[in-house]
Amino acid sequence: MNDQQLLRYSRHILLDEIDIAGQEKLLAAHALIIGAGGLGSPAALYMASAGVGTITLVDNDTVDLTNLQRQILHTTERVGQAKVDSAKIALTHINPTINVIALAERADDGRLSELIGGADVVLDCSDNFSTRHAVNHACVTHRVPLVSGAAIKFDGQISVFDPRSATSPCYACLFPPDREFEEVQCATMGVFAPLVGIIGSMQAAEALKLIMGIGTSLAGQLLMLDARNMEWNSIRVARDACCLVCSTSK
C-alpha cells in the first residue's frame, strides 16, 4: 500500500483483526453485487469505502423517482439513468482508487456462471426467487461464498451460504427450488426505507469478513429482523442431504 492508502484505510488498519494484511486482502479482492437497488446501495457503498479492489455491479434497471426513498446510491438528477452507471458515479466519488465494473444487463445462467467464476464473494441484492436460485446455483458450482439478503415491508433477513465448507447449506437447502413461495416485491408491497440500509450494510459486513477470513460468518444461520419492533430472531439452517443443488454438485 502507498501512503495515501495507508491514510485512507487507517481506521481499518488500527483494528488488530484487520491490520495491513487484512486491508491488502480487500484491495486484492473482487466482489460481485447482483442488484443496485435498496440492498445493493448500502452494500456497494460500504464495499467501496472499505477498499475492495474490484466491484462488479449487475442490474438491468434504470433509476426511477420511486427508488429514491431508499436506494441511496442514486440521486434525483440521475433519474432515467441506468442504475449501474449511477452507482458507478457514487462509488467512484467515495473511492476513486478502486475499479468499478458496471454491467447494465440481466444475466442469464451462463453469464452468471461466468461472472461468479471470477469473483471472491457474491452479494445477492436481487428481489426475486428466480435470480436468487440462479445465483446460488452458480456459487455452488464455483465454490464461491454467497451473502444473501432480502427485505420487504418491515421484515428483513440475511444469511451466508459458503460452498467451500462441506457442512454449510446453500440457498436451495432453505428455499427448495421445487417448492412454491409467495413472490412479493417492493413495487406492490412497499418497504420501510431504513430496513434495506440495515440489511444491505450487514451484507457488506459479512462479505468483508469472508474476504479477510475474520470472525464467524452467518453460514448455517438465518438472521431475521422485524423492524416494527426492532426485534431480531435467528434459526439454524442445516445442509439438506437431498438438496437439488448442493447435494448433486459433489
Show the 3-state SS of 117-166: HCCCEEEECCCCHHHHHHHHHHHHHHCCCEEEEEEEECEEEEEEECCCCC
Query: Does residue 170 have an active-site annotation?
Result: no
**Per-residue model confidence as pLDDT tens digits over 230-239:** 999 999 999 9
pLDDT band, very low/low/confident/very high, at 134 (cuts 50, 70, 90):
very high
By C-alpha distance, which of 84, 38, 79, 76 is closest to 60? 84
**Per-residue model confidence as pLDDT tens digits over 172-204:** 999 998 876 666 666 678 999 999 999 999 999
Q: Which run of H or of E encompasses 112?
A: helix 109-117
Which residue out of 139, 170, 173, 186 is catalytically annotated? 186
| Cα Rg of the chain, angstroms | 17
Domain ranges of the chain: 3-236
What average pLDDT does this structure show over 87-111?
A: 95
pLDDT band, very low/low/confident/very high, at 247 (cuts 50, 70, 90):
confident
- The share of the chain scoring above pLDDT 90, in percent, equals 89
Please give the model's pTM, rounded to 2 decimal places. 0.95
Strands 231-236, 54-58: pairing is unpaired
Q: Which CATH architecture has domain 3-236?
A: 3-Layer(aba) Sandwich (3.40)
